Amino acid sequence: MSGVLSGYRVLDFGRYIAGPYCASLLAEFGADVIRIEKLAGSEDRWTTPVNDDGIGALFLQINRNKRGLTLNPMKPEGREIVKKLVETADVVVANLPPQGLKAMGLDYDSLKAIKPDIVLTTVSAFGHGGPYSDRVGFDGIGQVMSGSTYMSGSEDQPVKFAGPWVDFTTAMMSAIGTLVALMHRKETGEGQMVEGALVRSALTIGNAALIEQAMLGINRKPTMNRGQTSGPSDIVPTKDGWFIVQVVGRPLFERWAKLVGRPDLIDDPRFADDLDRGNNSEILSEIAREHAKDKTTNEVLAEYAAASVPAGPLYTPQQTLDDPHVQAMGFLQDVEFPNLPKPAPVASAPINLSKTPGGIRHRAPVLGEHTEEILGELGYGADAIAEFRDKRIV
């Protein structure tokens, strides 16, 4: 299956999530993506292992559709291979600090000297332009520095979100930036550098709270799952589980008030608009809890659906996998991998295109799986490749 990006080659020197998932999105739509790892495998290959070989769950997700090459770019012969690869490439993805890029010859000036129209997509923790530019960091750094973690817990216990939303947001934005750079190159023949940054992504997602603080100096305190600028907005217990209710805007509030048997709330001045309802959200949460306490989650959700009030069940990961809508979408695709006990449910790109859809064409590569194939495409013969292996170049 070809794609709209067929004919483009991407070199993925990324690690962990933001860089590799950016490259994975490009691969989803047809680009030839070569994942380049250390000889022993990059760290993210072994994170959260799911089989006896130690292959990581996240690696299976964010490295599908790629070919795998092992390489030591710090040795002279390795640098020569990098040069030959760059000569064939359109994009280089590398989420490394600036000093790491320069040491590996992957900084923009070095790449441009090899291929003037190359697009370099980098991801760092803090981005350029500030005193933290050279610091390293992970997803959680962006979460806690953006204010989002503070607002997600309680005053006594901040709570970081378990999923790496900063990494994935950065990857998606970097993929968009890469596509824009390729469009610009098509028009002008010029390459450029695309830079994503974890903290910038986190500040983007939390920007509304920052704007409110800057404008009003309101100094909000965290309220766990309960919303502060509308209501009811909370995670509510039922007889056998939990569900979330999210009411924004007066029409939804009126429907919810009738649903819980409290039409008197509609004309109550404490709940006149979203901000008033947010300021008095604990009262609304208590009413929601009282309404749901003797019902099952399914019973409550059926009532909310009939009234067209947004609500959804709180799932464990297994319940998510078992949900009939999740299954019917076909979004999680069963992908085989050597020595897995069964196919892995890998998420495809979270967007559908009617004319140029993407898709998972093949699984993530085992370590160095396509090394001979890729080096052969660069003109290296079997003897040269064998010598590279003896010298621990590949």
Alpha-carbon span 115 to 95, nearest angstrom = 20
Closest CA to 229 of 183, 277, 184: 277
Q: Is 167 a catalytic residue?
A: yes
SS3 assignment, position 235: strand
Alpha-carbon span 46 to 217, nearest angstrom = 45
Q: Which residues of 279-313 are buried (b: 16+ CB within 10 A; e: fewer)?
A: eebebbbebbeebbeebebeebbebbeeeebebeb
Closest CA to 175 of 10, 364, 59: 10
Q: What helix, strand, coil percent values describe the chain, rounded to 5?
A: 45, 15, 40
Q: Among 32, 167, 234, 274, which one carries the catalytic annotation?
A: 167
The tokens describing 195, both together, are 């830079």
Alpha-carbon span 140 to 317, nearest angstrom = 21
The two beta strands, 233-237 and 192-197, are unpaired
Residues 338/284, Cβ–Cβ less than 8 Å: no
Catalytic site positions: 167
